[in-house]
Amino acid sequence: MKALEAHHLRKTYRYQGKVVQAVRDVSLQMAAKEVLAFLGPNGAGKTTTIKMIAGLILPDQGGVKIAGRNPHRDSQALRMVGAVLEGNRNLYWRLTPAENLEYFGVLRGLSVSSGTSARSKKLLERFDLLSKRRTTVQTLSRGMQQSWRSL
């Protein structure tokens, strides 16, 4: 018996009137005592997949079994799994992405008058966050929160 099985997991969300596929047909298997590093670019669905495996959100399609048990129906299954999620967020949750960029720009020696605003705008455009420049970070998706760290 496999310790963990996920078959054809799918999850979609509605965002600004559009359907966004967060997870598309993810399948994996793990034996007992195996360690899995789940890597991928921002927005690839890693956190959403882990939340489905952990029984925190229901998949739209597909299924999960932990030691043959469904974590969405049997809470005992979750006691058999451990997960470590990267949680290092080097930004201020109550500020907007633009405010965070300007703040950290000043910390690195840039002055507001010398163009942190213009530089922030270019970076927000580059990482497709311009439409979110006035939204507090705490309301952004995890992938969006992590995008700025690529700078």
Tell me the per-residue pLDDT of 18-48, one tens digit each, with 9 for 90 and over.
Answer: 998 999 999 999 998 887 878 777 778 888 8
Q: How many angstroms separate the CA atoms of 132 and 129, rounded?
A: 5
Q: What is the DSSP letter of 70?
A: -
Of 69, 66, 64, nearest to 8 by C-alpha is: 64
- 117, β-bridge pairs: none
Q: How many angstroms separate the CA atoms of 88 and 91, rounded?
A: 9
pTM of the predicted model as reported, rounded to 2 decimal places: 0.56
Residues 6+ apart with CB under 8 A from 112: 102, 106
The H helix count followed by the E strand count for the chain is: 4, 3
Tell me the per-residue pLDDT of 88-124, one tens digit each, with 9 for 90 and over.
Answer: 556 777 888 888 888 777 766 677 666 677 888 888 8
